[in-house]
Structure formats: structure tokens, C-alpha cells
Amino acid sequence: MRPRAGLVSRPMSILGTRVVRTEDPVFLTRGATYTDDLTDERLTGALHLTLVRSPLAHATINSIDVEEARNAPGVVAVFTGADCDIAPALLFPAANKAMVRPFLATDRVRYVGEAVAAVLTEEAYQGEDAADLVDVDYEPLDAVVGMKEALKDEILLFPEAGTNTVTGMHLAKEDPGDELFADCEVVVSREIVNQRVAAAPLETRAASAYWGEDGRCTIFCSTQNAQSARDEVAAWMGMDAKDLRLILPDVGGGFGAKIGADPEFALVAWLSKKVGRPVRWNESRSENMTGMVQGRGQVQKITIGGDRDGTVKAYRLDVVADAGAYPRLGVVLPMFTRMMAPGTYDIPKVFSSAQVVATNTTSTAAYRGAGRPEATQAIERAMDLFADEIGMDPAELRKKNVIKPEQFPFTTKGGAEYDSGEYAKAIDLACQAADYEGLRAEQARRRERGDALQLGIGVSSYVEITGGGAFVENATVQVHADGTVTVLTGTSPHGQGHATAWAMLASEELGIPVEKITVKHGDTDLIPTGAGTMGSRSLQTGGVAVHNAAVELVELAKQRAADVLEANVDDLELDKANGSIVVKGAPGAKSVSLADLAGQEELKVFHEWDAKKPTFPFGAHVAVVEVDVESGKATVERIWALDDAGPILNPLIFDGQRHGGIAQGIAQAMLEEVVFDPEGQPLTATFADYGIPSAAELPSFDLVSMETPTTINSMGYKGVGEAGTIGSCPAVHNAVIDAVSHLGVRHIDMPLTPVRVWTAIHEAQKESAK
């Protein structure tokens, strides 16, 4: 369980070694500095923003009375939608043009938590008091909550749109209908739900803004990508992006939900300008659980067909996805779900479709995996359903149908071009580590005895896309005269350890120790371009950019050293032991250090790397659960995870990413679900109600190694940030159902809570008694 060094490592290289994080000494002494921790002098005298939020999911607003609030202690100003001159914005370009979001609601609210009024006070406590005094007269409307309900178009969120369907971007090719399965001996079909979940980073959303005398606005905020957030806010506010500076303090987790800007960022900036003072905003958890974008939220119809010998011949996936009230990034995610629909399998015929609907709920966007876990869950449940139907071992069925190593690069029926993979080997290694045969034998014994505690074994085989969508990233590497190095990156770490990892990459090429290398990110004046951290993209884009920049810097240094050392460039090399340019094969001859060269002339390289393509990490997980069939309680006992993302830069960070991902996948399978009642009231709006697991609900994780490089970049790197989540969730889901399949249960929707498992057993028993 101790993290191992990378299997693909170079002798005498820092790459692939276990380097503890350079971030940590500050994080473990005075603590990180998040947006709400800032004591920046530019925020001196800042007002506190408290937002009055809608308690109803769907209503028209008759009137808003702010007089009493205005007169409350400490109140400087109260604004409503009528005062707000930021035009309502289409938050996702491909959505129906009528589905715009006002920055403060005016005539209608469309989800619980929508901002209705803004209260500015001297002190934070005064804001909560005053917000209670804002009197909004609502006229309740029927709410649309379920996705299928929304499709009926009986109640419309945006009457002017004429429909709840958000976009036509996912329109499928001609539907083959039953023809798809015409030559299949066996066809299994089932509707499954990939439930909505909350990213719930421990740091909630926050932003602060002030306007300088030069007319420029600076926003400090918590996001995963400063540069695109800047552009979004500028567009909403009708500003030139040059007049806006975003600075990211430390960011306390994101998991996809902090991609881009939130409308509140613009509101904070607008309010600051309006009142001529800095403004701070930090939402409460209760606000966060309805205000921050949520993830997943798909109803899927899966149909799988093939022959009794275990040959899968056709697969169909029909998706309805929930955009929530105001369409955002969630609208695009079914594209990834459809692209990844066939998973690791070579299935001759594949068809998929997707629809996206608006509902009176919180908007959806990315959450760890973002579209790919939904695809994996569907195909991996389908494989188990098919295995059950033909009576074949699920691991065997998978190995029989996966794409073979010699088929790479492989273009799938989903339209993806898989770069590299050894899928059957991954399944074999994970099963060996778990003693799969032994587990099956134990399962058989318990079934034979009729134990109350039944064993379930779940297997998943997965492939995902990393670095999709944003292929370009930049890095600047500069050596200073004092021998230190600064690296500027367009990536945006919020727990991923780039300060350490990028320093390792630079150190490797420059021969300067990690301790002397400072990595900076997230200030749009310092780093005007960059795509941030999301989609497991950072290493294969930003990391490779740092590597390339450092290589270029050494070349530049050699050219300059050629003059100093009066030697031919081709005869020079970097002595990595001390960061100096030396003449090859002439120990003791004259040399010049990178630091000295930097003292003579700025030694700095900007490099932009275009990966042009995504990569496709893959793996296999084996989960073991115990299910108490009397109570329905399922407990994850162990999980063996093989996550192959190419060569490992730092095993400590690599495994840490896997651990976190595995936990979130287990959490979705077992515990977490955002629930709204039929009126659109959230029933999971606090951490007391929403089921984030603690340490006590999780086991330690068993990690299995495999490193298959990509050909997309020179380092062979793929991404790992989302891998654990994508692999663990279906493995655990399959395991729980496997534990009770002998009782006649074929499927249970997530989360696999005791009441759901018990009900499924209970129903199956009633069925078999008939």
C-alpha cells in the first residue's frame, strides 16, 4: 500500500520518485490562504455581500420590499434585479437562446437558491440579519423536477423558449431501431439512473473585487481556471478582458464544479463598482448545496445484445440529461457520454442518443469525470446484466470483448481514437491482486450456507478521455541570477500538487533542485493565457509545456554559453549535478552556470505546447462488498484499483489522486444523491443530509500498478485525476448487485442505501414466491 516508484523510470532521474510536496509546510503551519482568508490591503474596508435567495423552485415575483433591510444596522446598500444593469446571460452558448440567466432575478425564479437581492453590509453578521428583512412576494408556480417530466413540456421554465429541451447539439444519426440487435441471440434492456451528486469541495464559492483608480477591476476568486473565468466575467459585464484581472488565492478543491466563473463573480464586481468600495462574498454551505453547480443527473436506457458464447454484438445508450434551471456546462457532457459509450469493448454495432432538459433545480456542470463516468457506469452495468443473462463470469465476458493491444490506435464506434491500452491485462492483474477465484469460492460458500452477510464481487473495466477539449497549454521557465527558478503555468492547481510536480519537471532538465524552483499560477496579469486544471489535463498539457520550456531554456543557455566559453554549441552540455553548462568530455574545463548566464541577460523561455489530441487512460477495478441481506446494509470491504495513466511523475501525488477519486466513486455508488422533492425543494442542502463519506465509511485502498505510455506526447503522460472515480463507481455498484443476484435482484439504482437494497431483495423475493 505504500506508494511505489514509477515502473517506467529513468536511472538517476527525479522523475518517477516520491517527492513530498513543497506546498505542505505552509499548508501545515499557518494554513493555506483561501479567498475568504485574504487580508490583501486592496480589500481594506470591503463590504460583505449577502444574497437573498429564493425559497421556492418556481415562482413569479410580484414585488420585493427592501426598505426594512435598508434601514437595518450596518447596511450600506440593497440591490434587486431592477437595479442590476448586467444583461441576463446565456451561460452555455449552444443552449436555447431564450434560456438566459439574470444576475439577480427580476420577474421569475427557477430554482431554490436563485439570487433575488444583494445586501451589502459593513460586517458579515449584519448581512444575515438584514437579508432576513427583505420581503419578497412570490406567486408559486408548479415546478418541473424529473427529467422525463420536463420532456413533456407541460410546464415550461422559459415560456418564450417554447420547450424545456435545451439544445439540439446531441441529435443522433438515423435511429436503427430493432435492426441494431437483429443478429443477437440475447438482448437485455434496462433503464438506469445516474443520480445527481454534489461536488461539495470543502471550500465553498468565494469572490472579492475592487476597482483601481485606473478603471481596472481585480477579482480574487476560487476557480479552476483564472483566464477563462476572466473572459467569461468580462463578456457578461460587457468589459474588455484587459480591464479585468483575476487572482486566485489557494483554492480548496473544485472537482469540476469550479470550472469557469460563477455569475456571483460578476455580481461582486458590479456591486463593487456601484458602491465604490471593495466587496467580499463567501457563501455558506447551505447556499453552496443549492447554488454551486452539481454533477451527473442522467436517466439512461441501456440495451445490449450478443450471443450465448459471450460475444457482444450490439449496444445502445439513450440518455436524458438534466441541465437544471439555467443551462451551463452540463449541456455538453452527454457528448462525452456518447463518445465513450462502448467503453473498452470492440462492439461491432453501437448507437447512442441524448437529450438535455431544463428543470427547476440547480444547474449542472462538470463533476470528476464529467460525462465519462456516466458512460462507464452504463456499459459496465450492461456487461454485468448480459453476463447474468447468459450465465457467464463477468470478468471473463469482459476479457472476451475488450479491444486487443494489437488493435491500437483504435477508432471506436463512439468516434474516439484510443491511443494505447492493454485492457485484458489490466483486468487480469486486478483480478490476480484480489484473488478473484478465491473470492468467488468464498461467495459460493456463503450462498450455500445462506449467510446473512453475503459477499459481492464487482469488476469494472474502463477507459476515459483526459486532456480532451483544451489541448493547448503554456509555461514560462526563468532562471534567476541567484540560481532560483520561476515557473509560470497556465494550469490551476487546487490540491493536485503542481508546485511540486512542475518543479520536478523543471529540475530534471535544469539540474537545479526542486527547493529552488517556485511555481506560480492563477494571476491573469502575470499569466494572460492558460486553460486551467480540469478534465485530468494538467500533466499532459501544462506539465509537458514545462518540460518543453525547460529543454528550450537549456538550448538557449548553451547558445549563450558558447560565447562565454568560446566553444561550439554542439560541444556543450548541461551538467545536471550543478546546473552548469560544460564542455562535453572535458571535466575540469571552464563552465558557466545557468545562474551566471541569467545574471548577464534575462534567461527565460515561454513555451506553448499543443497536444492536438486527448489521451485515453484505462484500468480495471475489483470491489468486494458485504451485504447484510436482512437489513440491506452494504459495506465496501476492499477495492483493488489498477489505473494506468502512463508513466508516473510522482507516485505520492499520483496515488493520492487515485485515492481521492476512488473515494468519490464509492461515495456515488453507496451514499451520495442530491434529492429534490416534487416541489423542487432540496432535501439534501446541508452536510448533515448529504451523504459525503467520512473515514469510517471507507476502507484503505489496494492499488495495482501498470504504466502504458501514450504516443501523444514525448513524455508518455496521460491524466489520472478522474480515473479512480470512473473505475470504482461501477465496480462497487456491480459488487452490491452481485451480492444479492442469487436472490433474484438484477439491478438497483445508486446510491445503494440500505433501504434500496432491502427493498430490491424484498421485491425479488415476492416475485419469486409468485
Partner 1 sequence: MIPVGFDYRRPDSIDAALALLAEHGDDATVLAGGHSLLPVMKLRLAAPEVVIDIGRLAELNYIRVDGDEVAIGAGTRYRDIVVSDVLAKECALLQAVTRTVGDPQVRHRGTLGGALAHGDPAGDLPAAILALEGTIVLRSPRGERKVPITEFYTGIFSSVKEPDELIVEIRVPRTGSTGWAYEKFTRRSNDWAIVAVAVVTAPDGARRIGLVNMGSTPLRAKATEAALAEGRSIEEAAALAAEGTEPPADNAGTPEYRRHLVTVLTRRALQTAAG
Partner 2 sequence: MKVEITVNGERTSHDVEPRTLLAHYLRENLGLKATNIGCDTTSCGACTVLVDGESVKSCTVLAVQTDQQSVTTMEGLDGAAQGELGHPVTKAFREEHGLQCGFCTPGMVMSAISLIEENPDLTEKDVREGLEGNLCRCTGYHNIVRAVLVAAGKDPDAAQRVEAESGERTMAPGFSTGEGDK
Determine, following the binding rule CB under 8 A, whether residue 684 of this chain makes contact with partner 1: yes
Looking at residues 186 to 225 of the shown chain, list those that interact with partner 1 (rule: CB under 8 A): none
Which residues fall within 8 angstroms of residue 451, CB to CB, at 6 or more apart?
none
Q: Which does 1 bind (CB under 5 to 8 A by kind): partner 2, partner 1, none?
A: partner 2
Q: Which does 684 bind (CB under 5 to 8 A by kind): partner 2, partner 1, none?
A: partner 1
Determine, following the binding rule CB under 8 A, whether residue 284 of this chain makes contact with partner 1: yes
C-alpha cell at 619: 484500468
Comparison of 107 and 637: residue with beta carbon closer to partner 2: 637
Q: Which does 132 bind (CB under 5 to 8 A by kind): partner 2, partner 1, none?
A: partner 1
Cell 513530498 belongs to residue = 20
Looking at residues 445 to 504 of the shown chain, list those that interact with partner 2 (rule: CB under 8 A): 453, 494-497
The binding track of 407-446 with respect to partner 1, each residue x by CB under 8 A or -, is ----------------------------------------
Determine, following the binding rule CB under 8 A, whether residue 647 of this chain makes contact with partner 2: no
Determine, following the binding rule CB under 8 A, whether residue 627 of this chain makes contact with partner 2: yes
Determine, following the binding rule CB under 8 A, whether residue 442 of this chain makes contact with partner 2: no
Determine, following the binding rule CB under 8 A, whether residue 27 of this chain makes contact with partner 1: no
Q: How far apart are CA 83 and CA 342, in angstroms?
A: 51
Looking at residues 599 to 638 of the shown chain, list those that interact with partner 1 (rule: CB under 8 A): 630-633
Q: Which does 702 bind (CB under 5 to 8 A by kind): partner 1, partner 2, none?
A: partner 2
When binding is defined by CB under 8 A, the residue of 67, 453, 754, 763 that contacts partner 1 is: 754
Asked whether the beta carbons of 181 and 191 are under 8 A apart, the reply is no
Determine, following the binding rule CB under 8 A, whether residue 135 of this chain makes contact with partner 1: no
Which residues fall within 8 angstroms of residue 171, CB to CB, at 6 or more apart?
none
What's the min distance (Å) between Cβ of 325 and partner 2?
23
Per-residue DSSP letters for 667-710?
HHHHT----B-TT--BS--STTTS----GGG----EEE------
Determine, following the binding rule CB under 8 A, whether residue 27 of this chain makes contact with partner 2: yes
Q: Which does 675 bind (CB under 5 to 8 A by kind): partner 2, partner 1, none?
A: partner 1
3-state secondary structure 280-333: EEECCHHHHHHHCCEECCEEEEEEEEECCCCCEEEEEEEEEEEEECCCCHHHCH
Determine, following the binding rule CB under 8 A, whether residue 691 of this chain makes contact with partner 1: yes
3-state secondary structure 443-483: HHHHHHHCCCEEEEEEEEEEECCECCCCCEEEEEEEECCCC
Which residues fall within 8 angstroms of residue 671, CB to CB, at 6 or more apart?
691, 692, 693, 697, 751, 753
- Which one, of 11, 373, 339, 313, lies nearest residue 180 by Cα? 313
Cell 449552444 belongs to residue = 94
Stretch that binds partner 1, among 122-130, 258-266, 497-505, 549-557 (CB under 8 A): 122-130
Determine, following the binding rule CB under 8 A, whether residue 683 of this chain makes contact with partner 1: yes
Q: How far apart are CA 617 and CA 595, in angstroms?
A: 39
Asked whether the beta carbons of 622 and 457 are under 8 A apart, the reply is yes
Q: Which does 155 bind (CB under 5 to 8 A by kind): partner 1, partner 2, none?
A: none
When binding is defined by CB under 8 A, the residue of 552, 575, 697, 749 that contacts partner 1 is: 697
Stretch that binds partner 1, among 220-228, 409-417, 582-590, 756-764 (CB under 8 A): 756-764
C-alpha cell at 674: 442530491
When binding is defined by CB under 8 A, the residue of 9, 33, 353, 753 that contacts partner 1 is: 753
Determine, following the binding rule CB under 8 A, whether residue 405 of this chain makes contact with partner 1: no
| Sheet of strand 618-628: strand arrangement | 453-463, 618-628, 633-644, 702-704
Q: Which does 586 bind (CB under 5 to 8 A by kind): partner 2, partner 1, none?
A: none
Which residues fall within 8 angstroms of residue 659, CB to CB, at 6 or more apart?
701, 724
Cell 553548462 belongs to residue = 581
C-alpha cell at 129: 440579519
Determine, following the binding rule CB under 8 A, whether residue 689 of this chain makes contact with partner 1: yes
Cell 434492456 belongs to residue = 189
Q: Which does 128 bind (CB under 5 to 8 A by kind): partner 2, partner 1, none?
A: partner 1
**Which residues sit at the interface with partner 1, rule CB under 8 A?**
124-125, 128-129, 132, 284, 286, 630-633, 671, 675, 683-684, 689, 691, 693-694, 696-697, 753-755, 758-759, 762
